[in-house]
Structure 1
């Protein structure tokens, strides 16, 4: 098989906007008021998450690391959604040959006052190092997590500090563990994933099965993946709003249950451990769901590649501002990228 040919072994696609799990876990681990309970949550996290033995590319192909400072440094967390987390091996070799249907970069600024999340359309046509032009979701298939990191670092011009690969099945469990998730639906549609079920316009209370159908839907929309991306972001907002609620954060039983529900479906780099999550959660203790902003990497419509694939064209002229925002950790530049409500 040539490097420019997609892997023939494919799995069913279950795309997810998985940022809610990452941000939710930060709230969960940081929310325990008692030190002993926080330690217990941390142990659950470390025991149940699978750690990546190799998550990053070689240092000589990465953006330069920022100089150490006494103040907290900005953090970029890459979130990849996968239909499976592999066979449980720490090498995660089982993910090669698959494509990441969810790609998000969570930017946590140095001042820890807000969070910005950039979604990247899975069919974005980009340069994958060593392979040439292809859909960005092929990077995971071609070279595993390190190549996915290298590809996205090349786009944003800044380092990815941590990586999380999330199995979609975990989100259905989290939605049910929360007793349902309230999600805003902007466009009413009949579900192709739950025949006979209609999602009306407005706030919807969704159980796990309904949430899964909601975020997977694309056939019901004129713009397909673009509306699906917006719906998935709305789902992430709904999960964050409920996870960061005081009724959850002050209830040890519900906290423990949620961490236990989330952790088994996460594969993270070795540094993404309980100590890191706990420290970051403390630093983000004043951040609320209204301080989390979402935007989609700029595109210039869809098209067809020279080999006949349906693709999404990245607006590289507009992407200059995205790159500058990541490199400078500029809240003002990121704010200019957020679509008006």
Structure 2
């Protein structure tokens, strides 16, 4: 019986980590590499975008270095996280160009709003102060509030406003109305809800929702003599425009369009003058704190008045309501503008 040659079985070497790699694993690594590359690309683009916006804003915007009154004349600093930003609008372009807003001005502020950011950041409250409101201006006696700019520049204007609301103004933003035109066009137009039909400079503004281009927006916010109640309707129109602009700015159509965002900053920054604290970083941080705010969380009101009167020297003036102002002042001081708004609007 012949012997069978034994079979010799060869063993394959144990697979190494590399030989164990499956096709799926290779795809996974490739996908990861692509994602990492994409993330780096996005970060680079985002970094460029932030730098581009910052350069435009800080390069074109005037900084107000002495906008606040002497410390001893001011209300105490707040102990909460609420903020008050004074917004001033003017038809006088030269004031911003000359960089002299800190001192007395020949021009007067045409629009005055206090933007209140509550500590909980659940909304934004805009309070308009009528430009012809009759107030006591320290060192000058009684006069229209918009005369404070002519008498003592921004420091005196801030002092008067702080006296009215009983709390500090944290920052100041001054904008020339001409900037509204370019900003509106950069946003692709804004749609406002117009409550009173009127015509101005050849533009027709019917009642209802209307879309404005830059030239139309400028006439819309400037018009005053077109209305029976004059500046009252002008203030309402300015508030309607502000609401429309903010709505357009926070829309997904704008926030997801870097080109439009850059155009918006390029358009408005040459017409701005801001206090030193309003840096790009401050704007980004403030915007982040307001990330849950929607259009329905914007609240507009006007400092309470009792109507139109005449001063001793024959000027047509707006009379502030003492009792109503006391209630408004308390709401500012205690950060309860939400309750005040609900009770009065």
**Does the alignment reach a TM-score above 0.5?**
yes
- Give the Cα separation in 1 of the matches to 2:153 and 2:50: 33
Instruction: Verify the 8 A CA contact 1:53 1:91 in the aligned structure 2.
Output: no
1:156 aligns with 2:165: yes
Aligned length: 300
Q: Equivalent residues in 2 for 1:129-148 (5 A)?
A: 129-148=138-157
Q: Which residue of 2 aligns with 1:297?
A: 303
Q: Which residue of 2 aligns with 1:125?
A: 134
Q: Equivalent residues in 2 for 1:245-284 (5 A)?
A: 245-284=251-290
Structure 1: segments with no counterpart, 5+ residues: 1-32
Structure 2: segments with no counterpart, 5+ residues: 1-44
Q: What whole-Å deviation, never above 9, does each CA across 1:154-186 have from its counterpart, x for those lacking one? A: 010000000011111100111111221111111
1:168 aligns with 2:174: no
- Give the Cα separation in 2 of the matches to 1:198 and 1:300: 31
Instruction: Verify the 8 A CA contact 1:52 1:270 in the aligned structure 2.
Output: yes
Residue 90 of structure 1: CA displacement? 4.2
Compared CA separation, residues 175 and 237, structure 1 to 2 (3 A): same
Calculate the aligned-residue CA RMSD, in Å: 1.7
Q: Which residue of 1 aligns with 2:209?
A: 203
- Give the Cα separation in 1 of the matches to 2:343 and 2:209: 26
- Give the Cα separation in 1 of the matches to 2:278 and 2:149: 19
Higher relative contact order (CA 8 A, sep 6+): 1
- Give the Cα separation in 1 of the matches to 2:324 and 2:307: 13
1:75 aligns with 2:83: yes
Residue 52 of structure 1: CA displacement? 0.7
TM-score calculated relative to the size of structure 1: 0.84
Instruction: Verify the 8 A CA contact 1:301 1:312 in the aligned structure 2.
Output: yes
- Give the Cα separation in 2 of the matches to 1:79 and 1:37: 27
Q: Which has the larger radius of gyration?
A: 2
Instruction: Verify the 8 A CA contact 1:113 1:287 in the aligned structure 2.
Output: yes
Choose from 27, 44, 49 the match for 2:56.
44
Report the 3-state secondary structure (helix = DSSP H, G, I; strand = E; otherwise coil) of the residue aligned with 2:210: strand
1:66 aligns with 2:78: yes
Compared CA separation, residues 155 and 84, structure 1 to 2 (3 A): same
- Give the Cα separation in 2 of the matches to 1:287 and 1:225: 29
Compared CA separation, residues 87 and 168, structure 1 to 2 (3 A): closer
Compared CA separation, residues 302 and 265, structure 1 to 2 (3 A): same
